[in-house]
Amino acid sequence: MAEKVGFQEAFQVWLRQVIQNSEIDGKIEGLYNTWADKDSEFPYIVYKLEDNNYQQDNVVSQATLTIDIWDYAQLEREVLQIRELLVGLFDVRMVEKQEIADIFSDYVDYDGDEVLAAFRLHLDSENPIPTDTDNIWRRELQFSVRYDRKRDIENIKSREEVIWDLS
């Protein structure tokens, strides 16, 4: 039986694979979802994907991918080099259905289709993050991720309507 994979899981597996198969993998000591391990070796990346913009009438939804680059060094040079590589990998990138499907074997999404819908990434902002420790450098990148809400919409449409009897 084929495994079912939703957007969040598929996106995170795709993201990790893209970073690990890039030049970035040789520059970082760790790649973490949401929080880094305590006493992680520098430099490392922490990423987080947050769904937002849930409006019932929208077929296309938007999420925010936040990537936080951390380093301990005299200069910010390594953080800026990693930043350049990340922007090169993700900014204005269209990820086709097949690219996701190729990652998973024997896979269907929650809609029963063979692959998830495509999604697109755009760099929205970047900010240096001040720290209270000398020689700790942080830079946060935020990308918008637009994707099809096909599964959510089907779930909404398939709900039974509740009829309130107030008599």
Residue 66 pLDDT exceeds 90: yes
In a domain, 161, yes or no: no
Q: Single out the residue of 35, 45, 79, 50 nearest to residue 144, CA to CA.
A: 50
pLDDT on residue 5? 67
Q: What is the pLDDT of residues 75-121, one digit of tens each?
A: 999 999 999 999 999 999 998 877 877 776 555 555 555 445 678 99
Q: How many domains does the chain have?
A: 1
In a domain, 164, yes or no: no
- Residue 145's pLDDT band (cuts 50, 70, 90): very high
End-to-end Cα separation, the chain, in angstroms: 48
Range of the domain at 119: 3-155
In a domain, 48, yes or no: yes
In a domain, 30, yes or no: yes
In a domain, 128, yes or no: yes
pTM for the whole structure: 0.80
What CATH number does the domain containing 24 carry?
A: 3.30.70.1700
Q: Is the preceding peptide bond at 130 cis, omega within 30 degrees of 0? A: no
Residue 122 pLDDT exceeds 80: yes
Kindly give the residue spans of alpha helices, DSSP state H, lying in the chain.
Answer: 7-20, 77-90, 97-101, 150-158
pLDDT on residue 39? 92
- φ/ψ of residue 163, rounded to 5: -105, 120
In a domain, 21, yes or no: yes
